Amino acid sequence: MTTDADRSREIETALTAVRDRIRVAREAAGRDDDVMLLPVTKYFPASDVEILHGLGCREFGESREQEATAKAAELHEKFSDAPARWHMIGHLQRNKAKSVARWAHSIHSVDSDRLVDALQKAVRAAVDDGERTTPLDVLLQVSLDGDVHRGGVEREDLAALADRVASCTDLRLAGLMAVPPLDADPDAAFADLAGLHRDLLVNHPEATQLSAGMTSDLEAAVRHGSTCVRVGTAILGSRPIASPVQTTDHTSHN
């Protein structure tokens, strides 16, 4: 039987190891800027998020709207002394924009005009209703292989989508996110992404964030300028089998 104390120790050990990996990767890359660790807590219970919070984590990534909405609500009171920031990193359907606008600090998976418009409207409404006070940070998810079924805007459409976000009063264009194509060499994929980010920065110098790297490839991402690694498995363990990295939400209908 696993006790709460066992689970705490397990998570603490894993978190320390991931922080070490990031530090070593930064040093190897000769970087002295920060790389944020975003623990990804999808599929894991609120009690694990509490353990991470107790270990100093204040930012959490979630990829499934319903689960995240419930967890953010459950932990809101508990974290009132040291509030957490929630980041939506998975595919979002437009009809869920309203819900996410109430709890998310950022969304890393914006890939269409229609989603931008829905988010702008939803954040505006949340501000008007006193449910939030800040704009929503938006990272554009770019498809590196053009397979839009896996989510992400095609590179040809990236500049126009960035302009659209930048023109929204309640959204803040924060940067780019990508997941390497299946079977791709992560170094090549993240080098490609870094090039797209450099191009974006020409017209949008405020879009400094680069959300790249997960459990298996964070070192390569840090080598290529990642400012935020999204790590689930290496911190919390394996998720249920039917839960690959999910940028497309197969669990919800419509």
Ligand X SMILES: *Cc1c(COP(=O)(O)O)cnc(C)c1O
Which positions lie near ligand X, rule CB under 6 A?
40, 42, 63, 89-90, 179, 214-216, 230-234, 245-247
User: At closest approach, how far in Å is the CB of 226 from ligand X?
Assistant: 12
Answer for the pair 248, 91: CB distance below 8 angstroms, yes or no: yes
In the complex with ligand X, which residue's Cβ is closer, 75 or 88?
Answer: 88
| Dihedral sign for Cα atoms in the order 219, 246, 153, 84 | negative
In the complex with ligand X, which residue's Cβ is closer, 42 or 53?
Answer: 42
In the complex with ligand X, which residue's Cβ is closer, 208 or 215?
Answer: 215
Interatomic CA distance for residues 112 and 154, integer angstroms: 10
User: At closest approach, how far in Å is the CB of 38 from ligand X?
Assistant: 8
User: At closest approach, how far in Å is the CB of 136 from ligand X?
Assistant: 17
| Cα angle: 206, vertex 209, 210; to 5 degrees | 140
Q: Which amino acid is at 207?
A: A
Interatomic CA distance for residues 207 and 14, integer angstroms: 31
Tokens of 38: 């975003």
Closest residue to bound ligand X by CB = 232
In the complex with ligand X, which residue's Cβ is closer, 131 or 147?
Answer: 147
* Number of helices and strands in the chain (H, E): 9, 8
User: At closest approach, how far in Å is the CB of 212 from ligand X?
Assistant: 9
